[in-house]
């Protein structure tokens, strides 16, 4: 049953007269509810916390509602998000545009994109006037969801809608056409951009360079790069990383390596993205030791390796069935002060499951949960079945308990998983023992 978020007698936020708010601006102080809700993981906990604060006499205002929306969005509790938005509209709570931009961006990534369209068109109902930032977020959401023609049409109608497109607007549409391999069409958008008096940025050039490099057209890419420099657009680390990636894809690692010196000569300091290209190419070719040596080079140049760098090493070590060595990389990165992310743990946990080292996998799972990350459902299943196969009932019970806390999996799912690996009769018996032990 969906939690009841609001009561009919809930008091709307206290309003301060505009003249009073101008004469006596309130100091920026942390709001207890906003701070507490960020540390919660389950939507029901966020809703429960909201109600506890309200019942204790705390008057929720816009910051509380927006924080609750962000938390519910991350857990994809869209029904509860709609409840909050409905309350805001009915009580005429003035909302900031950043809330709707976040909604549009989230629905653009998680879907459905129709929700993003709805948010954009309903902003005025919340006393919020959409700016170009909202339009650009919607254009990007449409392009990312295969609705390029709709985005292109909206860009062409944007001036009639009261917007003046900027470089971001055109860059988004160009990105869409390049993604479809429509180089000529992307160039027409580029020309239209110039006709409208909008100057291309380094991002514009990077999009076009990236396309050419991925296609192996390095001659054209270098010509475009030279044109970019002549027109006064200063290349950044991403520009060089794209050219380096093009060389690596063409099997020309040494030329990619030389670009590191060229960019320094031009006053652009190498960053992790540049080292990442080199490391990925080396690791992909199995030259793990050389890839690891790049970490030392980075430290000497005072470039701190980030989680992406370490993840590259962990990924390829796991692909080579070297999960134990990959685990040592995890320990090294933590010693260096680099915090693993969800991808780090997931790759490593899957790596241990692949080599059937389920005790090692359980160790990774513990670290993952402490870091407030969660494995994929399939990995949970694989770990439970593997621990059962090894006779580790306590470990399997622990994994199931953690799944139950996160409302992942059902008895029917476990019945299928266990019976598939142990035969129907013994599977039901083992499932009963397992669930009983976990309670």
| Homologous superfamily of the 271-360 domain (CATH) | Tetratricopeptide repeat domain (1.25.40.10)
Q: Measured in Å, how far apart are the chain's first and last C-alpha atoms?
A: 23
Q: Tell me, what's the pLDDT at 2?
A: 42
Residue scoring higher pLDDT (415 or 132): 132
Average pLDDT, the chain: 86
Q: Where are the domains positioned within the chain?
A: 30-93, 271-360, 376-439
Tell me the per-residue pLDDT of 54-94, one tens digit each, with 9 for 90 and over: 778 787 888 888 888 888 888 888 888 898 899 888 888 88
Looking up tokens 């796991």 gives 318
Burial (CB count <10 Å: 0-12, 13-18, 19+), residue 150: middle
Tell me the per-residue pLDDT of 189-231, one tens digit each, with 9 for 90 and over: 999 999 999 999 999 999 999 999 999 999 999 999 999 999 9
- Cα separation, 305 vs 288, in Å, equals 16
Ranges assigned E (strand) in 228-370: none
- Cα separation, 354 vs 44, in Å, equals 35
- Cα separation, 230 vs 88, in Å, equals 52
Structure tokens at 249: 């894809």
Enter the pTM of the model: 0.78
CB 351 within 8 A of CB 360: no
Beta-carbon contacts of residue 119 (< 8 Å; ≥ 6 apart): 100, 103, 104, 107
Structure tokens at 203: 């991002």
Looking up tokens 């009841």 gives 4
Structure tokens at 195: 């006709």
What average pLDDT does the segment 13-26 reach?
A: 46
What average pLDDT does the segment 230-259 reach?
A: 96
């Amino acid at each position: 049953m969906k939690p009841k978020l609001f009561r009919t007698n809930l008091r709307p936020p206290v309003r301060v007269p505009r003249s009073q708010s101008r004469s006596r601006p309130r100091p920026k102080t942390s709001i207890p509810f906003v701070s507490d809700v960020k540390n919660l993981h389950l939507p029901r906990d966020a809703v429960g916390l909201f109600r506890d604060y309200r019942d204790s006499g705390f008057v929720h205002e816009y910051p509380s509602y927006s924080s609750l929306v962000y938390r519910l969005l991350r857990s994809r509790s869209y029904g509860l998000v709609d409840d909050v938005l409905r309350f805001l509209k009915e009580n005429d709570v003035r909302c900031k545009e950043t809330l709707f931009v976040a909604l549009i961006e989230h629905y653009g990534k998680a879907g459905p994109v129709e929700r993003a369209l709805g948010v954009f068109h309903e902003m005025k109902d919340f006393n919020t006037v959409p700016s170009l930032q909202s339009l650009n977020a919607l254009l990007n959401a449409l392009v990312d969801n295969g609705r390029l023609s709709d985005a292109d049409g909206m860009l062409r109608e944007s001036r009639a809608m009261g917007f003046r497109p900027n470089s971001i607007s055109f860059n988004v549409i160009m990105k869409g056409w390049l993604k479809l391999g429509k180089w000529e069409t992307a160039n027409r958008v580029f020309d239209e951009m110039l006709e409208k008096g909008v100057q291309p940025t380094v991002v514009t050039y990077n999009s076009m360079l990236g396309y050419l490099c991925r296609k192996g057209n390095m001659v054209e890419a270098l010509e475009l790069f030279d044109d970019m420099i002549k027109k006064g657009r200063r290349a950044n680390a991403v520009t060089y990383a794209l050219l380096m990636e093009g060389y690596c894809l063409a099997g020309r690692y040494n030329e990619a390596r030389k670009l590191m010196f060229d960019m320094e000569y031009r006053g652009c300091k190498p960053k992790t993205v540049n080292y990442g290209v080199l490391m990925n190419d080396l690791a992909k070719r199995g030259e793990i030791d050389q890839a690891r040596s790049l970490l030392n080079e980075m430290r000497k140049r005072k470039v701190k390796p980030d989680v992406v760098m370490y993840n590259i090493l962990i990924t390829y070590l796991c692909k080579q069935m070297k999960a134990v060595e990959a685990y040592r990389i995890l320990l090294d990165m933590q010693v260096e002060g680099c915090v693993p992310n969800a991808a780090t743990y997931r790759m490593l946990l899957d790596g241990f499951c692949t080599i059937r080292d389920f005790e090692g996998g359980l160790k990774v799972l513990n670290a993952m949960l402490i870091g407030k990350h969660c494995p994929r459902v399939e990995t949970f299943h694989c770990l439970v079945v593997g621990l059962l196969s090894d006779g580790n009932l306590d470990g399997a019970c622990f994994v199931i308990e953690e799944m139950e806390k996160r409302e992942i999996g059902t008895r029917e799912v476990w019945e299928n998983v266990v019976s598939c690996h142990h035969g129907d009769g013994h599977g039901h018996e083992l499932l009963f023992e397992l669930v009983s032990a976990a309670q």
